[in-house]
């Protein structure tokens, strides 16, 4: 079979070696004679997985175990939209509105207290990132979304505030060097650069939770999950194990510093093509462009059909834009090889000869 180039925005491609190791563990986990699907989340074998993945998850971001707790929870990033204000919003929180996912987080926060929109790119149809944010008012926390998966925009800095900073890093965690240490709560749905869907990973700086904020049901209570070491209830054993395999892969490559170099090259290759071809338009503003999700459309929508057909022929999959935005979106997460990007660029260049 010829190579498939899978640009899916999530759940996305994981490294081939991770698929192989995960497949093997489905049959026989670590020579135990049992499937990873059939071992207890409280077994010593799984506790070892949880311990290793917790250390790796922190280490790869340069975070210290003494400073942060890490949780492996279920419900995806959308559950954290709810858990964050439940646990942290007593009076007023600040949110930066950079699109659909940020808006969904804001919607949940409104149920718990006042929300100040510190900055927004709504007037610009979310095609840009607000610059130089410094929030000086007294807030319970300030929330931002580091990478906006739908529009293809990305923060290149951590906003400043004199309150805890909370960040949804679902679509760019582990993709780059960043000031992770300046963020007090980092959360992400796993299904991009972490592992399979069905898991969210949350990093919480010690001491940042205010448990007197309100009564919090156990499943939504971060402190409860911390005190139970992510084992308040049955953990997503398979997703956590596959996450371990994926983070081991990242470490073997040289960590986020090494993968960032590859990610820069992939994004530069595609943006160069977009900028040099007069029938293609980048959707995000140049100074706000994401290295994970590259959005574009064509000057004439009549080109779509030709491009779609050529993508099918070239094995290019899952490149249509999000249903709310249209156009196209190439997601270039960690496991996507550079040759998939060059295959896409070749198709774009060929289109030029056919229109
Ligand atoms: N935040 C961002 C930035 C996302 O890209 C997504 C999903 N693509 C979400 C939140 C929602 O994640 P989930 O589907 O895991 O709830």
**Residues 2-36: tens digit of each pLDDT:** 799 999 999 999 999 999 999 999 999 999 999 99
User: By alpha-carbon position, which residue is closest to atom 15 of ligand 1?
Assistant: 76
Q: Which two tokens stand for residue 190?
A: 């796993």
CB 296 within 8 A of CB 328: yes
Minimum-distance ligand 1 atom for the alpha carbon of 147: 3
pLDDT > 70 fraction of the chain, expressed in percent and rounded: 99
Whether 1 shows a pLDDT value over 80: the answer reads no
Q: Is the pLDDT of residue 250 over 80?
A: yes
Q: What is the pLDDT of residue 99?
A: 97
**For residue 10, which atom of ligand 1 is closest to its CA?**
8
Query: Confidence class of residue 67 from pLDDT cuts 50, 70 and 90?
Result: very high
Ligand 1 binding site (Cβ under 6 Å of any ligand atom): 10, 76-78, 101, 145, 149, 168, 170-171, 189
Catalytic residue list: 101, 168, 192
Cβ count within 10 A of residue 88: 25
Percentage of the chain with pLDDT > 90? 97
> Whole-angstrom Cα distance, residue 18 to residue 299?
39
pLDDT digits (tens, 9 = 90+) for 113-130: 999 999 999 999 999 999
10 Cα to the center of ligand 1, angstroms: 9
| CA–centroid distance, residue 207 to ligand 1 (Å) | 26
Question: Which residues are annotated binding-site positions?
Answer: 42, 77-78, 101, 149, 168, 191
Q: Where are the domains of the chain?
A: 16-253, 256-354
Are 16-253 and 256-354 the same fold in CATH? no
Q: Pick out the residues of the known binding site for L-glutamate.
A: 42
Q: Report residue 125 as tokens.
A: 């149809």
User: For residues 248-272, b (16+ Cβ closer than 10 Å) or e, as one string?
Assistant: bbbeeeebbeebbebbeebbebbbe
pLDDT band at 212 (very low <50, low <70, confident <90, very high): confident
In the block, which residue shows the tokens 């922190």?
Answer: 58
**0.90 surpassed by pTM:** yes
Q: Domain 16-253, what architecture?
A: 3-Layer(aba) Sandwich (3.40)
- Range 256-354 classified under CATH 3.40.50.1370: no
State which of 8, 98, 170, 321 you would mutate to test the pocket of ligand 1, scoring each by most atoms of that ligand within 8 A of its C-beta: 170
Q: What is the pLDDT of residues 167-199, one digit of tens each?
A: 999 999 999 999 999 999 999 999 999 999 999
- In a mutational test of the pocket of ligand 1, which residue from 73, 78, 81, 95 has the highest number of ligand atoms less than 8 Å from its CB? 78
Mean pLDDT (the chain, rounded):
97
Question: If you measure from the C-alpha of residue 292 to the centroid of ligand 1, how many angstroms do you get, rounded to a whole number?
Answer: 14
């Amino acid at each position: 079979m010829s190579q498939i180039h899978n640009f899916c925005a999530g759940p996305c491609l994981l490294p081939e070696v991770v698929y192989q190791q995960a497949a093997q563990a489905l049959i026989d986990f670590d020579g135990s004679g049992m499937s990873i699907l059939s071992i207890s989340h409280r077994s010593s074998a799984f506790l070892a997985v949880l311990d290793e993945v917790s250390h790796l998850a922190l280490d790869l971001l340069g975070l210290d175990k003494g400073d942060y707790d890490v949780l492996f929870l279920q419900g995806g990033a959308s559950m954290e939209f709810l858990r964050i204000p439940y646990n942290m919003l007593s009076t007023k929180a600040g949110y930066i509105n950079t699109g659909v996912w940020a808006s969904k987080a804001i919607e949940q926060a409104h149920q718990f207290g006042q929300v100040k929109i510190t900055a927004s790119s709504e007037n610009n149809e979310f095609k840009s990132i607000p610059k130089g944010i410094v929030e000086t008012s007294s807030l319970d926390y300030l929330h931002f979304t580091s990478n906006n998966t739908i529009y293809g925009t990305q923060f290149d800095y951590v906003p400043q505030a004199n309150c805890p900073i909370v960040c949804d890093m679902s679509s760019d965690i582990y993709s780059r060097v960043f000031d992770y240490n300046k963020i007090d709560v980092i959360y992400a749905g796993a299904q991009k650069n972490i592992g399979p869907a069905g898991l969210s990973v949350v990093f919480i700086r010690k001491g940042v939770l205010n448990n007197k904020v309100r009564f919090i049901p156990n499943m939504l209570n971060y402190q409860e999950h911390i005190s139970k070491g992510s084992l308040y209830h049955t953990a997503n054993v398979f997703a956590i194990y596959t996450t371990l395999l994926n983070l081991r892969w990242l470490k073997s490559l040289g960590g986020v510093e090494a993968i960032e170099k590859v990610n820069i090259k992939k994004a530069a290759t595609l943006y160069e093509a977009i900028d040099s071809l007069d029938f293609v338009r980048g959707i995000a503003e140049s100074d706000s462009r994401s290295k994970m999700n590259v959005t574009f459309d064509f000057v004439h929508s009549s080109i779509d059909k030709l491009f779609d057909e050529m993508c099918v022929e070239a094995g290019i999959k899952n490149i249509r834009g999000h249903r709310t935005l249209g156009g196209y979106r190439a997601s270039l997460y960690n496991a996507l090889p550079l040759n998939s990007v060059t295959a896409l660029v070749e198709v774009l260049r060929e289109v030029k000869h056919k229109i």
